[in-house]
Structure 1
């Protein structure tokens, strides 16, 4: 086993899989740029952290169960008269999450409720929060099912 293979194996056993996967390329980059040992160690750690963050974001987006990919940057505020861009941006400090408050958009079809909710959800995931997206109908159905199961368990 070569020293490179042994090092990759050690990184994997330490659960540093991103560093292990990219070690050959990072070594080549370090050589070309004549990096110091400390700079290389920092670059290796930076790569691992970035990959872990990206993986966490992808996993949390998937778990959020967004029905579509919608971004706040693509929302057209000109057709929405009941909420402003400033009000939406004020939500992006996520104080409502920290205070354990829900965010609910109510209005007729086609005004952008889903787009806003998904866009804010994406920003929350990127900020490190876990999100669960549900529209009102699905939420009511899940609550009714949960209530039915709880009653059945209590009665039985």
Structure 2
């Protein structure tokens, strides 16, 4: 039984792309020790990395489009000095740990205090 870390990485990427038949074939070719397959591993790895990156980019673009944000907002464009907002808390929320803990965020304030800007910036970061 042969074990090649590069071929193992190929199998992981193929399964991540839901290409289970190709992942099984990769395992079998690794077991056989086919020289032509071993020579092709670096090229296949690059192609799979490119596909994973492309799918991630398409997912981000789709999620932003589906969210229908009125405009792009981020925290770099927000002036904390003009608003009575706890900057440290907003920056902590920007890290996204509240999502991992399934916690809600409620922004309360009068008109023009930056609630929409902060909400959009948090959502953009989450995407």
TM-score calculated relative to the size of structure 2: 0.62
Q: Give 4+ residue runs of structure 1 displaced > 3 Å after superposition.
A: none
Q: What do you get for the CA RMSD once the two structures are aligned?
A: 2.3
Residue 54 of structure 1 is aligned with which of 46, 53, 57? 57
Q: CA deviation at 1:113?
A: 0.9
Unaligned runs of 5+ in 2: 1-16, 20-38
Unaligned runs of 5+ in 1: 1-13, 17-35, 126-156
Residue 103 of structure 1 is aligned with which of 67, 91, 105? 105
Residues in 1 aligned to 2:81 and 2:109: alpha-carbon distance in whole angstroms: 16
Residue 76 of structure 2 is aligned with which of 73, 76, 101? 73
Q: CA deviation at 1:15?
A: 8.9
* 1:31 counterpart residue number: none
Residues in 1 aligned to 2:67 and 2:104: alpha-carbon distance in whole angstroms: 15
Matched, 1:87 2:55: no
Matched residue of 2:109: which SS? coil
Residues in 1 aligned to 2:50 and 2:96: alpha-carbon distance in whole angstroms: 28
* 1:38 counterpart residue number: 41
Q: CA deviation at 1:53?
A: 0.3
Residue 120 of structure 1 is aligned with which of 108, 119, 122? 122
* 1:26 counterpart residue number: none
Matched residue of 1:123: which SS? helix
Matched residue of 1:44: which SS? helix
TM-score calculated relative to the size of structure 1: 0.52
The alignment covers a number of residue pairs equal to: 92
